[in-house]
Structure 1
Amino acid sequence: MKILDWYILKRYLFTFLMMLLLFIPIGITVNLAEKVGRIIENNAPLGEVVIYYMNFTVYFANLLFPLFLFLSVIWFTSKLANNTEIVAFLSSGVSFSRFLRPYIIGATIVASLGMFLGMYLAPVASQGFNEFKFKYLSKHKSVQQTKDVYQQINDNDYIYVSNFIPRNNSGQNFTYEHFEGNELKYKMFADRISYIEADSAYRLTNYMKRSFENGIETIEKENRKLLDLPFELEDLTPVQYAAETKSYGELLRFIAAEKRRGSPNIGRYEVVKLRKWSLPVSIFILTIIAVAVSSVKRRGGMGANLAVGIAIAMIYVFFDKVFGVMAEQSDFSAVVAVWFPNVIFGILAIYLLQNAKR
């Protein structure tokens, strides 16, 4: 690798590192200032608070990895342009494509780190981050509930509950169906279901069971009945961030199991899976856009380049969030939702790159 490559690559990685070291403490300080009252009110142990902010650092670094990189590339490339260093490089016979090579090498290094972070480290951080947030920071944890849970718990059994309140492990309008092949064998109803931890069983209130055998229907009714049912409490309380807490291999198995159960959150889980691949790709796209935007010396100097860069970053975040929410809360394709921003900004990157070369 020649001197030019080393010079740009070192600036690329060093500026990115400095950007992380600059913004992460600011993010922690702002979050702590906002949450300190609730942390004190709920008597969160100091050790757990320290671990929470370690997880907070990894969690948000993973989310904002491409944007930190984008702004850092604009920053140091604008400095090169203002010092007429880029003009000197290109005037010496170096093509713009050759000038771009150390940026692509740097993007490859950062994308590899980002992929490792997203696949393995971020899930662990997400688990701790979300658990602490629910335990000590949630304003409405006393009334948190899960609505309209419908699960296939195995090949033959299905459960439904209209809403479930984790605070007291109880739900309303419970239904349990058991099939053998395509034939319904029995169906249980209850106005209320409660998990009794001491008995490791479920108590059903206003219980009714309809059984079907050889065309004969049998009905059983009781005011209260204690049953050991073949599903876990977690099946009634699916965690919305569950996919974020799993490594990639675990996530694939988790999604396959949730599809068999008929989970309503498949779109949310698919978005998490696809973003583990789209994030590294976005690093290359945003690097090219940043170089193309900031490699030209402008009358407004570095400030003009940063303004353009921040505007592009905000538009990218807007597209990413809007389409992500659409996929999570509707039947909108997760593939389209995750990759559409990259496709649009990839086209923009090619256009800006061609103009920069001219």
Structure 2
Amino acid sequence: MLVLFVPIGIMIDISENVDKMIEQQAPMSAILWYYFHFTLHYANLLFPFFLFLSIIWFTSKLANNTEIIAILSSGVSFMRFLRPYLIGATLVAIVVFFMGMFIVPQASKGYNEFRQVYIHKNRNNNKNNRALFNQINDNEIIYVRSFNKSNATGYDFTLEHFDGNRMVYKIAAQSIKIKDSVYTLNNYVKRTIGEREDIIETKRKKDTLFEFKAEDLVPVSYVADTKNLLELNTFIEREKLKGSANISMYQFNLYKRWSAPLTAFILTLIAVAVSSMKRRGGMGINLLFGVAVAFIFIFFDKVFGVLAEQSGFPPMLAVAIPIVFFGLLAVVLVRNARR
């Protein structure tokens, strides 16, 4: 299934983006690496759908050739018949787990960075991020009203430094520009809080260094997708301390990776249960039912994903509800198939 569908996806992507690659003069080596990462990224993304269809196709062939009837009539129980499928699902789940936790994040990084640089460059150049508050460590909070990616410039910048609950100083600037790890502040004002009076320092332009990084001012939306398991756990803890508004999105990404092996088992059971019976319509009816169930699963996954990211819905619950619902469906279908 992967060999059949991924090349089709590559050809569609080439037809849509080849003009942008030529316009941005993307080197051939970068394009080849992009499509290698593209393959890993989408193979991991669509693996539940491909797994489901491949099992239905294979089992339907057995059923149409009356092989399943012969196996069960010889005294083999339905659960014994399921054993090779469960072994296969275990192997798939192990591969998917390690791919999703350690390999696919690196592929997602290459995939997204290429698209940012060569495909969405013109669109991103004119896109200003919304206002951002960020606690970068235990003592400092930064703020920018907006950030322009094309010139790496933030507007209405503020940095507040605290000692406990007491503000020590506050830096404000009309704009902050980042180049080679050097921060240029325009219309710079620093107010140091004194016991009796404040000390105010002003400069029209000031070059300085800060402890925070550029991504603290303009975090990319796909940042969680590019981190492996260990990095993602550390990243989530750091974002919690910062009070990040995207913490639900990052947690949903983490829980989704842990649920992928369970998804392999659930879809395997459903696919075997619905395709192990010989039907008058043949394989077409089983594939039609399989496609319908797969799209319902994807719909549930996307709906609860959006709820977790946008509405404050608990991320763990957003991942668990589709798993529990389709797990119960798998149990019901297997019990019915045994009869």
Which TM-score band (shorter chain)?
over 0.9
2:337 aligns to what? 356
1:289 aligns to what? 270
Amino acid at match of 2:91: I
For the aligned residue pairs, the C-alpha RMSD in angstroms reads 1.6
Cα shift readout 1:116-138 (whole Å, capped 9, x = no counterpart):
11111101111110111111111
Q: Confirm whether residue 243 of structure 1 aligns to residue 248 of structure 2.
A: no
Q: Could you tell me how far apart the structure 1 residues matched to 2:196 and 2:314 are?
A: 43
Amino acid at match of 2:5: F
1:56 aligns to what? 38
1:225 aligns to what? 206
Q: Which of 27-36 and 217-226 deviates more?
A: 217-226
How many residue pairs get aligned? The number is 338
Amino acid at match of 1:309: G
Q: Confirm whether residue 164 of structure 1 aligns to residue 147 of structure 2.
A: yes
2:125 aligns to what? 142
TM-fit CA distance, 1:30: 1.4
Using structure 2 for the length normalisation, give the TM-score: 0.95
1:117 aligns to what? 99
**Measured at CA, do residues 127 and 148 of structure 1 come closer, stay the same or move farther in structure 2, by a change above 3 Å?**
same
Amino acid at match of 1:259: K
Match of 1:347 among 317, 328, 334: 328
Give the fraction of aligned pairs with identical amino acids, expressed as a percent: 53
Whether the 8 Å CA contact 1:175–1:190 is kept in 2: the answer is yes
Using structure 1 for the length normalisation, give the TM-score: 0.90
Written as runs of structure 1 = structure 2, the 5 A alignment for 1:192-207 is 192-197=175-180, 200-207=181-188
TM-fit CA distance, 1:308: 0.5
1:91 aligns to what? 73
Q: Could you tell me how far apart the structure 2 residues matched to 1:216 and 1:134 are?
A: 48
Q: Confirm whether residue 269 of structure 1 aligns to residue 229 of structure 2.
A: no
Cα shift readout 1:252-299 (whole Å, capped 9, x = no counterpart):
111111211222221221122111111111000000000111111122
2:164 aligns to what? 181
Q: Could you tell me how far apart the structure 2 residues matched to 1:307 and 1:316 are?
A: 14
Whether the 8 Å CA contact 1:164–1:237 is kept in 2: the answer is yes
Q: Could you tell me how far apart the structure 1 residues matched to 2:322 and 2:196 are?
A: 56
Amino acid at match of 1:21: V
1:153 aligns to what? 136
Q: Could you tell me how far apart the structure 1 residues matched to 2:257 and 2:23 are?
A: 36
Match of 2:195 among 191, 202, 214: 214
Stretches of structure 2 lacking an aligned partner (at least 5 in a row): none
1:108 aligns to what? 90
**Measured at CA, do residues 91 and 177 of structure 1 come closer, stay the same or move farther in structure 2, by a change above 3 Å?**
same
Written as runs of structure 1 = structure 2, the 5 A alignment for 1:22-61 is 22-61=4-43
Q: Could you tell me how far apart the structure 2 residues matched to 1:29 and 1:195 are?
A: 38
TM-fit CA distance, 1:148: 2.2
Give secondary structure in 2 for the equivalent of 1:216.
coil
Written as runs of structure 1 = structure 2, the 5 A alignment for 1:7-22 is 19-22=1-4
TM-fit CA distance, 1:354: 1.2
1:8 aligns to what? none
TM-fit CA distance, 1:202: 2.1
Q: Which of 219-228 and 49-58 deviates more?
A: 219-228
Give secondary structure in 2 for the equivalent of 1:209.
strand
Q: Which of 88-97 and 200-209 deviates more?
A: 200-209
Cα shift readout 1:66-121 (whole Å, capped 9, x = no counterpart):
11110000111111111111111111111111111111000000010111111111
TM-fit CA distance, 1:238: 1.1
Amino acid at match of 1:279: A
**Measured at CA, do residues 103 and 219 of structure 1 come closer, stay the same or move farther in structure 2, by a change above 3 Å?**
same
TM-fit CA distance, 1:196: 4.1
TM-fit CA distance, 1:221: 3.9
**Measured at CA, do residues 60 and 249 of structure 1 come closer, stay the same or move farther in structure 2, by a change above 3 Å?**
same
Give secondary structure in 1 for the equivalent of 2:193.
strand
Give secondary structure in 2 for the equivalent of 1:140.
helix
Q: Confirm whether residue 254 of structure 1 aligns to residue 235 of structure 2.
A: yes
